[in-house]
Structure formats: C-alpha cells, structure tokens
Amino acid sequence: MYKAPSIESGAGAAAKLKDLQGDVLAVTMPIPWKVFQAQCQWEPRYVHMVADMDQDTLESLEASAPPFDVVVGLGGGSCCDTAKYLAWKRGCPMVLAPSIVSVDAPLTNMIAVRVDKSVTYVGDIFPEELIVDYDLIRKAPKELNRAGAADIASIHTALYDWALARDERGEAYDATAAQQARACLEELDRNASDVYEVSPKGIDTIVDLYRREVEFCAHLGSSRPEEGAEHLVAYNMEHLTRRHFVHGDLVALGLFTMSRLQDNQSAWIAGLMDRIGLRYRVPEVTAQEVAECLITLTEFTRWSKTFYSVVDSTPITADFVDETVAALFS
C-alpha cells in the first residue's frame, strides 16, 4: 500500500535528528557522516557504516544488529536502502536523510540488493519520514545530484514506448498516469536551471518529482511511465562492460540514443539534458562501447525478456549506430 511521506526540507534540517527519542541506529557511510558531523554534532546510540549491498551483508547485519527503536539512513542510495531493509525486517520506525539526490531510493518501497553481482529488488516499505537538508546535499558533487533528474527525464522515451506497446501489442495503458508523468517532465523542463545549479528549489524539484513518480507508479503497479528503452541501454551497458556507472549517466545515454531511434524530439531532449547537466556522453565510456551496446541491444532485450519497446519495432541498423555515435561524440 502506498503511503505518502512527510518531507521536511531546509538548510540544516538534519539537525532535527538530535530530537529523536529512544535508541537510534544510524546507518551511514564515512563521507556523508563526516559532512553531517561537521554541521551538527550528534551521537546516536549506534552507528553502522555501510560497506556494500550484497544480500549476505544485509542478512548478517540484520541478524547481528542490537535492538533499537528507530533507524536513520543518512547518505546515498545504499545507506537509505540499508535503513529500509532494517526497518522492513524489524518493523520499526525509520527516518531518511539523503545526502545526495542521485537516485530515488529515499522515496521508493523497494530495496536494491546484489546477488552474484546483479541487482534484484526485495522488500516493501514506503519511507514515511524524509529530511531534505540542503546544506548536506549541496556538499555532494553537483554532477551526481543532477544525475537524479535522469529518472524523471526518462519519461520522455518511456511514454513513447508505452503508447507503442498499446498500439502494437494491445498492452494496458492508463491515460491518467501517462498525463501525470508528462506533467512531471514539464515541471522538470520549467526548473531545469535550478536543477543544474542544485539550488534549494532544484533539490526540492527532484525530490517532489520522485515523490509524484513513485506515487503514480505505485497506483499503476508498474514503472512503465518512467522506464522504457532508455533503461534497456543502461542495463545492456552494465551487462556488456561489467563495470559500475552512475545510473543517471547511463539513463541519459539511453535517452540520447533511443529518442533518435524513436524519432521522438531527440534535439529537444538533448537540449533539456544540456540545461540540466545530465552527462549523456557518459564519462569513461568509449565510442566503441556505445556502438557495441547499440548493436547488441535487440539481442539483449530478447534474451532478457524485457517489456515491449522501440527496440522491438525498429531495427537498429549499422547506419543508425554510426550516425548516433558520431552525433554523441561530435
């Protein structure tokens, strides 16, 4: 069941954590914890440093953690997800204070865990209390905070694929959810310069758009309105290279390439990504790797049995790959 979170945002808002009653377990990482401690001295009863998101790690943490009254997740996606895991398993209250807005983990009910190096999702716990501390978040690298907007910009190509699946495969389509998603994309467009600056309004925009996206996807029971072929590009790149990337960078690459395959306002979406500062020319990805990712994309989507998308309806030709890679690296 979807539950709307209470969100408190402001400069230094995380200082409010000091007021938590009972034994608190803070789940964090060395860098965000140090940044937070520099602005607010608070010693919770227990502090746990997150190492990784392997399922074994989470299970042994849950088995060995002492009893506590409240769990606080302070940090990026892994810290928020580890706190969610503990709150879900122990059935206790949770407060999340993201130190970066690069992923939607502080808003979603699912927990991304790694089993044999691939990501699967477990759990079902909607965060109810969120503290958005501008001071904390603005100390993270700007490009990583901007990357959070990719999972909202992805609505552009995802809605195209959803309508395509409706028209060509008779897939269930919800015009209201599609409209709600489009409104989020328009809101992102209107606030692009604030997102680029990572201003308080830019941070609030990303958090609020995540909140809206999580809500309409929860009611729909699917992430169709924000997950289309652009995500397939991201998944295939990880599959091919076996390297780790910033999720938003790969989704931005997917937006750049798949909006062209869709012949869907590709210049407009590239311009929007420029205004936001999304890195569709992913750092540390070569032109050769982008070409290989596109050439193998059709085969990858059939093998991984993903949702219907432009990749199924439009052949990815050698000419398309050449032109797209040239445009990307021009």
Measured from the CB of residue 170, what is the shortest distance to Zn ion in angstroms?
26
126 or 320: CB nearest Zn ion = 126
132 or 251: CB nearest Zn ion = 251
Query: Where does 76-229 show beta strands of DSSP type E?
Result: 94-98, 111-115, 118-122, 129-133
Q: Of 296, 229, 224, nearest to 258 (Cα)?
A: 229
Q: Of 210, 207, 35, nearest to 138 (Cα)?
A: 35
Measured from the CB of residue 151, what is the shortest distance to Zn ion in angstroms?
4
C-beta separation of 27 from 91 below 8 A: no
14 or 207: CB nearest Zn ion = 207
Q: How many residues in the shown chain lie near Zn ion by CB under 5 A?
A: 1
50 or 155: CB nearest Zn ion = 155
151 or 161: CB nearest Zn ion = 151
Measured from the CB of residue 230, what is the shortest distance to Zn ion in angstroms?
9
Measured from the CB of residue 300, what is the shortest distance to Zn ion in angstroms?
17
Measured from the CB of residue 222, what is the shortest distance to Zn ion in angstroms?
14
Measured from the CB of residue 156, what is the shortest distance to Zn ion in angstroms?
13
217 or 310: CB nearest Zn ion = 217
Residue 219-258 contact track with Zn ion, rule CB under 5 A, x = bound: ----------------------------------------
DSSP 3-state percent helix, strand, coil across the chain (nearest 5): 55, 10, 30
Residue 150-179 contact track with Zn ion, rule CB under 5 A, x = bound: -x----------------------------
133 or 151: CB nearest Zn ion = 151
Measured from the CB of residue 305, what is the shortest distance to Zn ion in angstroms?
19
Q: Which two tokens stand for residue 89?
A: 């398993």
C-beta separation of 87 from 37 below 8 A: no
DSSP assignment of 296-323, as one string? THHHHHHHTT----HHHHS---HHHHHH
State which residue has the least CB distance to Zn ion: 151
73 or 77: CB nearest Zn ion = 77
151 or 238: CB nearest Zn ion = 151
Residue 126-155 contact track with Zn ion, rule CB under 5 A, x = bound: -------------------------x----
Q: Are strands 24-28 and 6-10 parallel, antiparallel or unpaired?
A: unpaired
Cα–Cα separations (whole angstroms), residue 317 to 52, 167, 308: 39, 23, 19
223 three-state secondary structure: coil
Measured from the CB of residue 185, what is the shortest distance to Zn ion in angstroms?
14
Measured from the CB of residue 90, what is the shortest distance to Zn ion in angstroms?
28
Query: What is the rounded end-to-end Cα distance, in angstroms, of the chain?
Result: 47
DSSP assignment of 25-36, as one string? EEEE-HHHHHHH
- 1: which residues sit within 8 A by CB, 6+ positions away? 126
DSSP assignment of 226-260, as one string? T-SHHHHHHHHHHHHH-----HHHHHHHHHHHHHH
Q: Which residues bind Zn ion (CB under 5 A)?
A: 151
